[in-house]
Structure 1
């Protein structure tokens, strides 16, 4: 179950931060609508790494479609394997 709190609860930020755990973000609302998410730093870093990897994979796929794919043998030769 998501942990949702009004942003006004930040007046007692220690209590709010205590509720943040790996895999369990705290969502803050403002005027009854979702506004912010507090996440554990390890989760944040994992999300950023995932976004970077997905972006690089998309670039590679685009290059493959535009410039053509390499055969496994060509890749091994280029890498000296």
Structure 2
């Protein structure tokens, strides 16, 4: 069951933070509406990794579709393009 508390409970923040754990965020409400979430740092890092992986997969899929529609670039052309570039 989600742990939902009013934001005013942060006056006693140590009690609120005791309820935060991986897989068990604390949701804060303001004027009766959801406003913030307090999550464990490990869970936030996992979220960021998942988000980056999803973005990479979307970019790879876009590249695959572009290759199928516009034609593929040969590895020789890629070597010429990036090999000639000075980093």
TM-score of Structure 1 vs Structure 2, range by shorter chain = 0.7 to 0.9
Question: Which residue of structure 2 aligns with residue 37 of structure 1?
Answer: 37
Alignment of 1:1-81 (within 5 A): 1-68=1-68
Query: Secondary structure, in 3 states, of the residue corresponding to 1:65?
Result: helix
- Structure 1: gaps spanning 5 or more residues: 71-81
- Structure 2: gaps spanning 5 or more residues: 73-87
Normalised to the residue count of structure 2, the TM-score between the two structures is 0.77
Q: CA deviation at 1:16?
A: 0.4
Superimposed CA distance per residue, residues 5-60 of structure 1 (whole angstroms, 9 cap, x where no aligned partner): 00000000000000001110000000000000000000000000000000000000
Query: Secondary structure, in 3 states, of the residue corresponding to 1:24?
Result: coil
Q: CA deviation at 1:67?
A: 1.4
Q: CA deviation at 1:63?
A: 0.4
Normalised to the residue count of structure 1, the TM-score between the two structures is 0.83
CA RMSD of aligned residues (A): 1.7
